[in-house]
């Protein structure tokens, strides 16, 4: 039970956004993984953000930044993940940095021009990179895949049970 004390609550929307980011990254990498495609996508997104052509999408910004961010205060970022629509983006800005100057400049610009979007994107990127800090939480919503074991997915018309239901009912017009 000690694990439940370590795991902290993450807003359901952040959980959803991280799953979406994971799917985006896997989709871009492809199967087998193609790092060149991934790198080209990140460069294209970063170029758009540098031109100040902001796509108001948390996952796209997270995708563009995830490999360039350094998370300086993991505990405080995890606490910030408790509320998706919270204010105080400046606090989150102080919890993250970038190794390269060009990315630091871009991140500063994004926090200045789109603070809420950037706050959310940074937290999503943090949660994506550190699933061990939150994935096992009891309250995490689970997205169930389509039922793969269901053999009745083939649409071959109504079953005998359904046909029998209608045969037993008497049509009021047939008298």
Take residue 151 and report the two structure tokens written for it.
């053999």
Instruction: Find out whether 49 and 120 touch, Cβ atoms under 8 Å.
Output: no
Specify the DSSP class assigned to residue 96: E
Residue linked to tokens 């000690």? 2
Specify the DSSP class assigned to residue 151: G
Q: What is the pTM of this model?
A: 0.72
Q: What is the pLDDT along the chain (175 residues), one digit of tens a residue?
A: 333 433 457 999 999 999 999 999 999 888 888 899 999 999 998 888 888 877 789 999 999 999 999 999 999 999 999 999 987 899 999 999 999 999 999 999 999 999 999 999 999 999 999 998 887 654 444 444 344 444 445 556 556 655 555 555 555 555 5
Distance CA 93, CA 76 (A): 11
């Amino acid at each position: 039970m000690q694990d439940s004390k370590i795991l902290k609550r993450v807003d359901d929307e952040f959980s959803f956004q991280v799953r979406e980011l994971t799917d985006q990254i896997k989709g871009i990498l492809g199967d087998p993984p193609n790092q060149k495609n991934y790198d080209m996508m990140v460069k294209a997104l970063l170029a758009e953000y540098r031109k100040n052509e902001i796509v108001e999408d948390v996952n796209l910004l997270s995708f563009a930044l995830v490999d360039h961010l350094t998370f300086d205060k993991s505990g405080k970022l995890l606490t910030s993940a408790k509320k998706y629509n919270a204010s105080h983006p400046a606090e989150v800005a102080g919890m993250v940095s970038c190794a390269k100057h060009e990315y630091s400049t871009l991140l500063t610009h994004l926090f200045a021009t789109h603070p809420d979007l950037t706050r959310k994107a940074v937290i999503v990127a943090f949660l994506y990179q550190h699933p061990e800090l939150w994935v096992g939480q009891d309250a995490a919503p689970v997205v169930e895949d389509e039922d793969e074991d269901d053999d009745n997915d083939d649409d071959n018309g109504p079953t005998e049970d359904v046909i029998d239901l209608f045969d037993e009912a008497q049509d009021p017009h047939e008298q």
